[in-house]
Amino acid sequence: MANYFGTDGIRGEVGVEPITADFFLKLGWAVGSVLSEQGKASVVIGKDTRVSGYLFESALEAGFLSAGVDVGLLGPMPTPAIAYLTQTYNASAGVVVSASHNQFQDNGVKFFSAKGLKLSDTDQAKIEQKLSEPMVSVSSEKIGKAYRHEQPLGRYIEFCKSTFDRSVNLNNLNLVIDCANGATYHIAENVFSELGANVNIINNTPDGFNINKNCGATDTKHLQQVVLETGADLGIAFDGDGDRLMMVDHMGNMIDGDQLVFIVAKAWKSQNRLTNNSVVGTKMTNLGMRHGLRDLDIQFIEADVGDRYVMEEMKSHGAILGGEGSGHMICLDKTTSGDGIVAALQVLEVLVKSQVKLVELANDMVKYPQVLINVKTKDKVNLDNHQALIAATKEVEAVLGDEGRVLIRASGTEPLIRVMVEAKNASTTQQCAEKLADMLR
């Protein structure tokens, strides 16, 4: 049986299996068939702004209808909005057509349960099994119906605003917001301006091809430049599907996901809001954050890479705060998924209440230099049996000692091996990472 699901749904290059219209048609049928085992089902489908979204939205819709599932179309919406709206509309599942932070040549799909959570491995296995079976449509009288929801934008905007403490406001705060020409383009400005901020919105004119291109959470150079040129208080960057957040302080420094989670964790700890006194991160979480949390007497819980695994550990340990350096931040007392807009509001709430600039809040955590090198691979690499790499890794770890670490892993979404090295000394970090990457090449 083929294994289509990666760490965040199914993703790849458009037109290359499995990112084709015929596969998405069968995928919609397969998911719909699994959902229908529990009785009459309905789904909501949203997408980001890449041009191929029209194609795959339609293919999925047809697949669901052929399985007897009703479909509510949401149009362009952030991934976390679909998690929220799945519950709001009492749907059996939520469907997101998106390749997240990738550029327009790629696309994919991810799913949420009726509770707004990413699907479990068990659920994914059921879908994989169904995909191996012949596609058979329900009889004509049982075919599903499709309709377009009228006010999903307004519902989600009001939800985002409801997560912010209205005893404070964003009046006189000058923000630059980078929408990555993605799914927050018609939402973010409303949320922040309606809470009082002065908003300068950039990269909010998607054309189907410019999503994540030299902008957004994966490339903050443009945002940093605009923040400095305009003298803004800070900048906020989302990725193409709105589940990642990066920030830029007034001096033009990029503040990543680990730093943002630390800022919120420290504030919530002081306010006795940090349930179970714990924060969930991943194997990639910066050593500086780990040490910073330890110094605050906050337990750090390590999950596998991917916000789905962060969520699983949060639920398992009763934690309400978790995230990744890449910008996913999950505030489980607010929402059920990583949400860039909601996360930004939590950071701004800390900033306003403390009356301290973002640069000072970020400096409370000493960030270790981290080098991440992606090595492209044609074939699958067996990392456990790569003897030369294992030997080189041991040599590097001996050099780093307790003041650094190495993590080498295969990407769950792309044909890459990710080599990550952290250490106190930047040049040592770079040299060690290059040595290990060269071994893989």
Which of 100, 113, 278, 337 is catalytic? The answer is 100
What is the β-pairing status of strands 10-13 and 416-423?
unpaired
Q: What angle do CA 102, 103, 109 make, to 5 degrees?
A: 55
Please confirm, yes or no, whether 100 is among the known catalytic residues: yes
Residue 180: closest CA among 244, 264, 228: 244
Calpha distance 259→252 (Å, rounded): 15
Instruction: For 357-381, give the DSSP string.
Output: -HHHHHTTS-PPPEEEEEEE-SS--
Q: Helix, strand or coil for residue 217?
A: helix
Residue 206: closest CA among 13, 51, 364, 30: 51
Instruction: For 249-308, give the DSSP string.
Output: ETTS-EE-HHHHHHHHHHHHHHTT--GGGEEEEETTS-HHHHHHHHHTT-EEEEE-SSHH
Q: Is the previous residue joined to 18 through a cis bond, with omega within 30 degrees of 0?
A: yes
Residue 251: closest CA among 279, 281, 227, 275: 227
Angle between helix 21-36 and 121-131 (nearest 10): 120
Tell me whether residue 38 is exposed, middle or buried, using C-beta atoms within 10 angstroms of its C-beta: 0 to 12, 13 to 18, 19 or more.
Answer: exposed
- Which residues does residue 331 pair with via DSSP β-bridges, in sequence order? 321
What is the β-pairing status of strands 245-249 and 234-238?
antiparallel
Q: Helix, strand or coil for residue 395?
A: helix
Query: Residues with catalytic annotation?
Result: 100
